[in-house]
A and B are shown apart, each in its own frame.
Chain A
Amino acid sequence: MIDKKTHDERLERLMNPLAESVLGISDEAVLTETSEAGADPEQEAEHTRLVLRQASKALDNVTERLSNLRHTINSNRWHRGHWGYHNTCVTCGSFVSFTTATGEMRGDALDGLCPESDQFTIRRREASR
């Protein structure tokens, strides 16, 4: 019964059809609607693209920082935790985490060079040429 539904479920029922309704309207209509609401559609769209780029860039930054410290990270092993995403170096096991919102990084992997990286370096150098 509806009366027994909690208010959070009711709020969800109210907003989800509105969210889904956006998916059914034409390209032209979604641009017009944004203009009618007083916003610049191109500006708002590009801001959204920037939001996506920022998340992608945050991952680039942490990957590059770890690579510079010679840590090896399995890109499929990022886990979502209470504070951003976390992972461990596959060679030394040290920990790293970062957030997409601010790009902030934490963890002992950032404290210095991977202590286990040298043996792999020799192998790579020999293998490459």
Chain B
Amino acid sequence: MAHLLPYAESTAPPLPPPRSINASPKSALLVESDESLLSFLRRSLEDEAYAVRIAANSEEGLRLYRDCGPFNVVLIDYCVRPSDGVGIDYLAPLQKHGIGLATAIRQIHPSQGIIIAALAYRNAAEVPRPRELMHIPLLIDISNFQLRGLLEKIEVDRAIEALTSAELLRLRQFAAFHVRGLGRAARGRTGEDLLQEALMRTLIGAEDVQKGRHWNKDVAFTWHLIGAMQSISNHWKRQFKDMEPYLISEFPVRDAEGQEHSPLDNVASGHAAADQRLIEKDEEDRVLTIFKDDPEATQMLQDFLDGLKKNEIKSRYGLDERKYAATVKRIRMKLRGRRNGGGQGEKHDR
């Protein structure tokens, strides 16, 4: 009898790359005895561009997994039958064969993404399963959108675990600088908030920025998150501007001679926009002050402010790539952790 290994989601080693079973980049193992459900689930997986291997019982499923695994996803019916109708020795008496198979697969690859189709149950709480499989995704509703959501979730969770340290650090720094560039429009959000928002919009997987952002699997996950963060920060900025009160002075009128003037030319204007400008000017000045003893860095920052691109800056000053990169690195290093000119150390507030 095989022993159950403790399963800890957060500490499981990353799954090795799935073995390709044909031209499709995504592979799935479907273990289902019921022919009509098999046909439906197979079609659903194929619609999501999975190349599907089929097993009609739990023993065949385990054999296929040992021969061809790991897969991007394994979908197992909770009530799948054993090959000869006799219990398999790795199953506890009251466990269904689907749970036994899932346990055996997790013993081979602890981080294998598995979905259990428990369609006889009304909700996750009712599905009997061992503690180590308590967080396994359950397909309770036959509707296609639940399966699609679970598949996307497994892909995204796999991608998170597969991110290298360098990729994670890049994402972190990119998010931190982007949020800083938002100024007051960040409304107290941090780079971590931006990163979480990008992930959430990926998980909900809709098509537009208001709802979500579908991850096209042809794009590396890091680049997808970078694109999502850019789009979200632009959205935050637009949203902030829309919420800002307009000053009447921002609506110039023309007099009888066609001269443009503001109706409030002779009246003190409101303070909101002025405050905003002051705060952002203050942040800009603070950044420049940090580099007051570094003329090269100051010049480069001025060039950034003037909207010059990397190649324009390099050619203007005859900088080679190494020298340009060294100056930018110096700026990044000094600004790291100096949020709004405050104390050192990034905000780890979760």
Which residues of A are at the interface with B, using a C-beta cutoff of 8 A? Answer: 2, 6-8, 10-25, 27-31, 33-34, 36-37, 41-42, 44-56, 58-60, 64, 67-70, 72, 74-80, 85, 100-101, 117, 120-121, 124-125, 127-129
Which residues of B are at the interface with A, using a C-beta cutoff of 8 A? Answer: 10, 34, 37, 79, 119-120, 122-125, 135, 138, 140-143, 145-146, 148-149, 152-153, 156-157, 160-161, 163-174, 177-178, 180-185, 192-193, 195-197, 199-201, 203-206, 210-212, 226, 237, 276-277, 280-281, 283-284, 287, 301, 304-307, 310, 325, 328-329, 331-333, 335-337, 348, 350
* Residue pair B122, A18 in contact (C-beta under 8 Å): no
* Residue pair A101, B196 in contact (C-beta under 8 Å): yes
Interchain CB contact (< 8 A) of A56 among B156, B171, B173, B301:
B156
Please indicate the chain B residues that have their CB under 8 angstroms from the CB of A120 in the complex: 141
* Residue pair A52, B122 in contact (C-beta under 8 Å): no
* Residue pair A80, B166 in contact (C-beta under 8 Å): no
With A2-B305, A64-B124 already in contact, the answer to whether A48 and B181 are too (CB < 8 A) is no
* Residue pair B205, A75 in contact (C-beta under 8 Å): yes
Cβ distance A101 to chain B, nearest Cβ, rounded Å: 6
Interchain CB contact (< 8 A) of B125 among A21, A34, A37, A68:
A68
Residue among B138, B141, B152, B182 with the most chain A CB within 10 A? B141
Cβ distance A47 to chain B, nearest Cβ, rounded Å: 7
Interchain CB contact (< 8 A) of B168 among A17, A48, A59, A60:
A48
Please indicate the chain B residues that have their CB under 8 angstroms from the CB of A52 in the complex: 160, 163, 195-196, 199
Please indicate the chain B residues that have their CB under 8 angstroms from the CB of A54 in the complex: 196, 350
Cβ distance A42 to chain B, nearest Cβ, rounded Å: 6
* Residue pair B203, A55 in contact (C-beta under 8 Å): yes
Q: What are some 10 contacts across the A-B interface (CB < 8 A)?
A: A11-B181, A13-B304, A27-B164, A41-B169, A42-B165, A48-B171, A56-B199, A74-B149, A78-B206, A124-B141
Cβ distance A21 to chain B, nearest Cβ, rounded Å: 5
Cβ distance B194 to chain A, nearest Cβ, rounded Å: 10
Please indicate the chain B residues that have their CB under 8 angstroms from the CB of A50 in the complex: 350
Please indicate the chain A residues that have their CB under 8 angstroms from the CB of B337 in the complex: 37
Measured CB to CB, the nearest residue on chain A to B199 is A55
Measured CB to CB, the nearest residue on chain A to B171 is A48
Please indicate the chain A residues that have their CB under 8 angstroms from the CB of B119 in the complex: 124, 127-128
Please indicate the chain A residues that have their CB under 8 angstroms from the CB of B203 in the complex: 55-56, 59, 75
* Residue pair A51, B177 in contact (C-beta under 8 Å): no
Please indicate the chain A residues that have their CB under 8 angstroms from the CB of B277 in the complex: 6-7
* Residue pair B210, A79 in contact (C-beta under 8 Å): yes
Interchain CB contact (< 8 A) of B124 among A20, A67, A124:
A67
* Residue pair A67, B140 in contact (C-beta under 8 Å): yes
* Residue pair A36, B210 in contact (C-beta under 8 Å): no
Interchain CB contact (< 8 A) of B122 among A19, A45, A70:
A70
Cβ distance A98 to chain B, nearest Cβ, rounded Å: 10
Cβ distance A87 to chain B, nearest Cβ, rounded Å: 9
* Residue pair B211, A78 in contact (C-beta under 8 Å): yes
Measured CB to CB, the nearest residue on chain A to B280 is A7
With A10-B280, A127-B142 already in contact, the answer to whether A100 and B206 are too (CB < 8 A) is no
* Residue pair A49, B125 in contact (C-beta under 8 Å): no
Provide the bound-state CA to CA distance between A67 and B325, in Å: 51
Interchain CB contact (< 8 A) of B177 among A6, A22, A100:
A22
Measured CB to CB, the nearest residue on chain A to B276 is A8
